[in-house]
Chains A and B, each alone.
Chain A
């Protein structure tokens, strides 16, 4: 098995505060790694360091064995690393279909071929499939800003999959989503993981969601890795119960 993502000794300080303090872990191909921990423990900062949104103060990130530290987020995305954000980040004025085409277009051809080629970059079909897969069919032509919060969350996730990524980092995909839609989202993510062999890292506070979706769980506290292992092991770990889960 090859590690899709290798994070070694990532450290990030803001002035005197060390938000991420020497975190190392590997994610294997096809794995879903859950990332949990109390608010402010450095989960999102770690994501931003992995994705090139923030420059880590120290450490190294490899994707498929290749060092990617220092690459811009757009370059990393075109290498097959995609993400969603904690807060909603769809383009409200574009339609659902346009949002998805936008999310895929930079993965096709060169800049010049995109200028001279068709308006949809040949992605209408792929976008329709993604729309059907996330059960947004009836909304394809609607402006994304007019969708309900849960629907926008689904669209946000769908956008992350348009480029056919190898690795997807999801920052609180379940936040603010109602129970029916949550079950839907979980089922969709599991299906993509199964069918496309896509690898995920998921930050989430919803323990039921994490424990049932993820193959391994990593717990962070105060910028460090507190525990990493199978969901049931982590759940039984006394240090984790003390720092995060509670008695």
Chain B
């Protein structure tokens, strides 16, 4: 966020990170499960934010990539292979499939593209459900082992939460690097004005495919963590509703803002839990809250902050202009 003083930003960052490490130490099993889920979904949403928020390519298939990553992890680790190998396979597989899924985006855009990716999403779901020999179909894969990281077992909820949090940290740094690199600028150019981007030498075709491939690979990363988190997977969690959930996280948090997915995933994963005290009404309240937020700020939570900072900058600039003008006038 430009406009927030650097010291404040660093202090805030340190407090949040320290809080994420220290506060959950006394959480119960369920609380840690929810927080781990938040970290995993944030990774997947960051991928979609890259494809949709920065590069402007609509995708309703992010949930399918989480599924591909999860099945890769479940199948491989059940066979005794290490999770890191499954991670490698999931990333390469999702990158390649994401790249191919990007080709339709070179021809169709917006809701037409949404339908293409939706069809892909359905296709992947059917593979999970029908190809029993590989995925065990509707019975799912159970007893998915949790990994040992540097000799430390992550069977207990707290170490596994730290694994998710650490992964989120690494992914965040990588994505941060990507969007502040010339690639990030090219992605924004692709979203804002592809014709002009092309005339400035930007290979829009390659950047579009890259946006899909990298975003999908991050979905795969999230999936490889999701499988050992739940320790049981079947096709149902990876149907279209997960893709829609991830899309909502990106939009509610603020599409095209770096921290959007963190907040969006918080709303999508944590808010329903906090609203549980209302019992039967929690999902209704949750839906109303989301509708209300998007009416108030169509650009999401970070859109509100961005609007405030822009207004403040404009006020400061016009005040400076007024001062400059008055100092140019002759003294009375």
Contacts and interface: CB of A to CB of B under 8 A. Distances in A.
Contact of B196 (A91, A101, A107, A114): A91
A202 B30 CA distance: 68
Interface stretch (A1-9, A28-36, A78-86, A181-189): A78-86
Between B182, B192, B202, the greatest number of chain A beta carbons within 10 A of the residue's beta carbon is seen for B182
Interface string B187-228: 011001101101111111110000000000000000000000
Contact of B200 (A115, A117, A146, A159): A159
Nearest to B202: A106
A102 B181 CA distance: 11
A89 B185 contact: no
B201 A107 contact: yes
A247 to B, nearest CB: 38
Contacts of A53: 195, 198-199
Contacts of B180: 119
Interface stretch (A92-100, A125-133, A222-230): A92-100
Contacts of A93: 188, 192
B194 to A, nearest CB: 10
Contact of A102 (B200, B205, B206, B314): B200
Given A91-B192, A119-B181, A105 B199 contact: no
Contacts of B189: 91, 102
Given A92-B192, A93-B188, A115 B183 contact: yes
Interface string A158-193: 010011000000000000000000000000000000
Identify the interface centre among B185, B186, B204, B314: most chain A CB within 10 Å of its CB.
Answer: B185
A121 B201 CA distance: 14
A59 interface: no
A244 B204 CA distance: 39
Contact of B186 (A105, A107, A119, A163): A105
Interface string B163-190: 0000000000000001011110110110
Interface in A12-54: 51, 53
A124 interface: no
Chain B's interface size range is 20 to 34
Contacts, number: 83
A100 to B, nearest CB: 10
A162 B203 CA distance: 17
Contacts of A73: 198-199
A78 B201 contact: yes
A117 B181 contact: yes
Nearest to A141: B2
A68 to B, nearest CB: 14
A221 to B, nearest CB: 27
B199 A119 contact: no
A83 B185 CA distance: 20
Contacts of A51: 199
A82 B199 contact: yes
A106 B201 contact: yes
Contacts of B196: 85, 89-91
Interface of A: 51, 53, 72-74, 77-78, 82-83, 85, 89-94, 98, 101-103, 105-107, 111, 114-117, 119, 121, 142, 146, 159, 162-163
Interface of B: 178, 180-183, 185-186, 188-189, 192-193, 195-196, 198-206, 314, 317
16 contacts: A51-B199, A72-B198, A89-B195, A89-B196, A91-B192, A101-B185, A102-B189, A105-B182, A105-B186, A106-B202, A111-B203, A115-B178, A117-B182, A119-B182, A146-B314, A163-B200
Leading 7 A-B pairs by shortest Cβ distance: A77-B201, A106-B201, A89-B196, A114-B182, A105-B182, A73-B198, A78-B201
